Chain A
Amino acid sequence: MMEKKEMSETKVKRSILARLLPQLRSLSKRGPSGWMVIVGIAIVAALVTMTAIAPWIAPHDPNKANVGPLRSPPSLQFPMGTTALGQDMFSRVLLGGSVMLQVSAISVFVCFLVGVPIGLFSSYVGGNLDKAISLVIDAVYAFPGLVIAIAIAAVLGPGVINMALSIAVVYIPSYFRIVRSQVLSIKELTYVEAARSIGAKWYTILLRYVLPNVVPSIVTVLTVNFADAVLTAAGLTFIGLGVSVDIPDWGYDLTKGRELLSSGGWWVITFPGIMIILLALGFTFIGEGLSELLNPKLES
């Protein structure tokens, strides 16, 4: 079942890449920031692909205990060593990204779907409605993020979707604020006024005039959101609110690996840790590069 889902995910991602490639080529001409974006995309694509094809190339069942000696260091037979239960780390690393990727993708998706429309609508309409909604969003923003995520995860119970939802709630205000600050400055621009004066409907204005200008900043927030979601998911697993033990997960190995590190077992925490850092890095590179590209003031 997991294989089929991974297959269609891969197909979708590959078609997106096909459309993006020409744009990537133009990016490479834009200097170091452009390279940053390319590197970021490459990292993310590599990790996604690795996770997608993992079911076929993983040498062992990642959950099966005692396939090798308990907590043995990397060797020829087990290139990344074994866990405290004798599971093969290499297989676990190959397959463990699936949870992180799903959690961050779903949470970003939800965040985006909720935060952006509300932000657009509220700031465009303005007035008391805008003030009221801003107040509510400010209240949510004042919540300590990880605490909400912990509380919601405790309410909903463990699982990929529940973790994603608990993270999503925390980040909605960021989208709202970015969108709102952009819209507030855009909606006073002359050409928007012009569109209004010729009688264009509010949703046309929003979609055709405002949204395209807002998209660049949203994309930046999106990538930071992705990176943060990955790290928050790791944090939730550390507290004990992660997925079930029979689903290989980088965050789980990171948490359990910490217990082994104190007795010298470095391989259980290091490899998943590097993967998590790489994943977060990939998204951050994309975000950093994009924000630099889209910020005209720094062009010299």
Chain B
Amino acid sequence: MGLRSYVITRIILTIPTLLLLLTAVFVMMRVLPGDPVALHFEKKATPETMEQMRHLLGLDKPLWAQYADYIGGIVDIGYLLQHGYPNLGKSMQTTTEDVGGQIFSAFPATLELAIYSMIIASVIGILLGVAASKAYNSVWDHLIRGFGIVTYAIPVFFLGIILQLVFGVYLGWFRTGLRISPTVQPPAHITGLYTIDSLLEGNLMKFVESFKSLLLPSLTLGIILSGVFIRLTRTNMLETFRLEFVTAAKARGLKESTVTFGYALRNAFLPILTMVGLQFALLLGGAILTETTFSWPGLGRYIVDRINFRDYTAIQGAVVMFGLFVTLVSLVVDILYAYLDPRIRL
């Protein structure tokens, strides 16, 4: 099978997966107890006013009609081209805002957090993993492996508040919450990632201020995820070391560092790349807790809010967008893998 047909097959296969995802989340929402209508009325509400609200939210239509609206909205390409995001309906809590718009405005914050956490996790993970593999069975190896295992076992919010207290309150080096210092205006919105946007704007002060707020949450998530990278890198490096071409390279008299980083790491890299892709997808779980701890206005906090509000359309939309993101990431990873390793395509 050539690369092209592999790619096409994989892309086509994502469609039924997504459709299943859409339907599953639609059903799940309708099963949730708790009425989005009732949640609009804090105090006194009469049956008439509740019926009015029910009609406003479109909940008085039969289920199949709601489902048809839902699917119809998502595949509405015209809407997508006009607004830049798909039609995921209107939020049931605010009744006037587009869910798609809400998600797209919340997404950059989570993306920024995810990217920086990933960078920290992979840098720490790969460096320490390589070091451990080189020092196989020594004290350092055990210490690093131990570190890798322990970090993963720490609850996110536990580590988060410790970092907040130490670096935010006692030392005062970094911010304990929000995306940027309260007295500083965020940079003009281009990508939505404050660090990138402030650099694009050429404003170094804003970059520093957003970095100061970004560091603690990314560090929290990054440290916890690094454990996985440490173990994976170490295992894969150890496997690669035993391969003959490495012995051959050393026999030819190449420097340790060239062998380690030039040959061995490059080969161990593929599984690590896959892990990066997969972990990216799993990040959202940790992001929910991190975003709550650090008052980070991202998608994780959005989803938790929406579940509390029983905002069906918003939850459906967020899960769908997230599922799409995960599917895309695994698609890209698979294609990259197939490109780099021809054996897979067969």
Residues of A in contact with B (beta carbons under 8 Å apart): 32, 135-136, 138-147, 150-152, 154-155, 227, 231-232, 234-235, 238-239, 254-255, 258, 261-262, 269, 273, 276-277, 280-281, 284-285, 288, 295, 297-298, 300
Are the CB atoms of A151 and B155 closer together than 8 Å?
A: no
**How far apart are the CA atoms of A215 and B323 in the complex, in Å?**
30
Are the CB atoms of A239 and B304 closer together than 8 Å?
A: yes
Residues of A within 8 A of B307 (CB): 147, 150-151, 154
Are the CB atoms of A146 and B288 closer together than 8 Å?
A: yes
Are the CB atoms of B323 and A135 closer together than 8 Å?
A: no
**How far apart are the CA atoms of A155 and B27 in the complex, in Å?**
12
Q: Which residue of A lies closest to B159 (CB)?
A: A273
DSSP majority for the B interface? helix
How many Å from the CB of A261 to the closest CB on chain B? 6
Are the CB atoms of B242 and A297 closer together than 8 Å?
A: yes
Are the CB atoms of B161 and A143 closer together than 8 Å?
A: no
Are the CB atoms of A269 and B13 closer together than 8 Å?
A: no
Are the CB atoms of A262 and B165 closer together than 8 Å?
A: yes
**How far apart are the CA atoms of A222 and B165 in the complex, in Å?**
35
Q: Which of the candidate stretches B16-24, B64-72, B248-256, B260-268 sits at the interface with the other chain?
A: B16-24
Residues of B within 8 A of A234 (CB): 155
Q: Which residue of B lies closest to A231 (CB)?
A: B155
Are the CB atoms of A142 and B238 closer together than 8 Å?
A: no
DSSP majority for the A interface? helix
Kindly identify which residue among A32, A138, A255, A284 contacts B149, using a CB–CB cutoff of 8 Å.
A284
**Size class of the contact patch on chain B:** 35 or more
B1 CB within 8 Å of chain A: no
Residues of B within 8 A of A298 (CB): 235, 238-239
Are the CB atoms of A280 and B238 closer together than 8 Å?
A: no
> Total contacts A to B, CB within 8 angstroms?
125
Q: Which residue of B lies closest to A224 (CB)?
A: B152
Are the CB atoms of A151 and B153 closer together than 8 Å?
A: no
Beyond A139-B20, A277-B154, A288-B145, 6 additional contacts (C-beta under 8 Å) are A144-B319, A145-B285, A238-B155, A238-B157, A239-B288, A276-B153
Are the CB atoms of A258 and B238 closer together than 8 Å?
A: no
Which 6 residue pairs are nearest across A and B when measured between Cβ atoms?
A: A146-B285, A280-B153, A139-B20, A142-B323, A144-B284, A142-B326
**How far apart are the CA atoms of A154 and B308 in the complex, in Å?**
9
Are the CB atoms of B285 and A155 closer together than 8 Å?
A: no
**How far apart are the CA atoms of A150 and B292 in the complex, in Å?**
14
Kindly identify which residue among A142, A258, A273 contacts B17, using a CB–CB cutoff of 8 Å.
A142
B282 CB within 8 Å of chain A: yes
Q: Would you list 29 pairs from A and B whose C-beta atoms are within 8 A, ordered by A residue?
A: A32-B137, A135-B20, A139-B20, A139-B21, A142-B281, A142-B322, A142-B326, A144-B284, A144-B285, A146-B284, A147-B288, A147-B303, A147-B318, A150-B288, A151-B307, A152-B28, A155-B28, A155-B32, A227-B153, A232-B285, A234-B155, A238-B155, A238-B289, A239-B304, A262-B161, A276-B153, A280-B152, A284-B149, A288-B145
Residues of B within 8 A of A147 (CB): 284-285, 288, 303, 307, 318-319, 322
**How far apart are the CA atoms of A300 and B137 in the complex, in Å?**
11
Kindly identify which residue among B18, B21, B155, B242 contacts A254, using a CB–CB cutoff of 8 Å.
B155
Are the CB atoms of A258 and B149 closer together than 8 Å?
A: no
Residues of A within 8 A of B323 (CB): 139, 142-144
Residues of A within 8 A of B238 (CB): 298
Are the CB atoms of B17 and A139 closer together than 8 Å?
A: yes
Residues of A within 8 A of B239 (CB): 297-298
How many Å from the CB of B59 to the closest CB on chain A? 17
Residues of A within 8 A of B315 (CB): 151
Given known A261-B165, A284-B149, contact A143–B142 (CB-CB < 8 A): no
B327 CB within 8 Å of chain A: yes
Residues of A within 8 A of B322 (CB): 142-144, 147
Residues of A within 8 A of B142 (CB): 32
Residues of A within 8 A of B154 (CB): 273, 277
Interface 0/1 of B312-337, CB less than 8 Å to A? 00010011001100110000000000
B158 CB within 8 Å of chain A: yes
Are the CB atoms of B16 and A135 closer together than 8 Å?
A: yes
Q: Which residue of A lies closest to B169 (CB)?
A: A262
How many Å from the CB of A202 to the closest CB on chain B? 27
B84 CB within 8 Å of chain A: no
B156 CB within 8 Å of chain A: yes
Residues of B within 8 A of A239 (CB): 288, 292, 304
**How far apart are the CA atoms of A231 and B285 in the complex, in Å?**
11
Question: Which residues B119-168 have CB closer than 8 A to chain A?
Answer: 137, 142, 145, 149-150, 152-158, 161, 165
Are the CB atoms of B157 and A136 closer together than 8 Å?
A: no
Given known A145-B282, A150-B304, A288-B149, contact A235–B31 (CB-CB < 8 A): no
How many Å from the CB of A153 to the closest CB on chain B? 10
Residues of B within 8 A of A255 (CB): 157
Residues of B within 8 A of A136 (CB): 20
Residues of A within 8 A of B24 (CB): 139-140, 143
**How far apart are the CA atoms of A254 and B158 in the complex, in Å?**
8
Q: Which residue of A lies closest to B149 (CB)?
A: A284
B34 CB within 8 Å of chain A: yes
**How far apart are the CA atoms of A162 and B250 in the complex, in Å?**
57
Are the CB atoms of B282 and A235 closer together than 8 Å?
A: no
B231 CB within 8 Å of chain A: yes
B47 CB within 8 Å of chain A: no
B182 CB within 8 Å of chain A: no
Are the CB atoms of A154 and B34 closer together than 8 Å?
A: yes
Residues of A within 8 A of B161 (CB): 258, 261-262, 269
B2 CB within 8 Å of chain A: no
How many Å from the CB of B155 to the closest CB on chain A? 5
**How far apart are the CA atoms of A146 and B152 in the complex, in Å?**
16
B62 CB within 8 Å of chain A: no
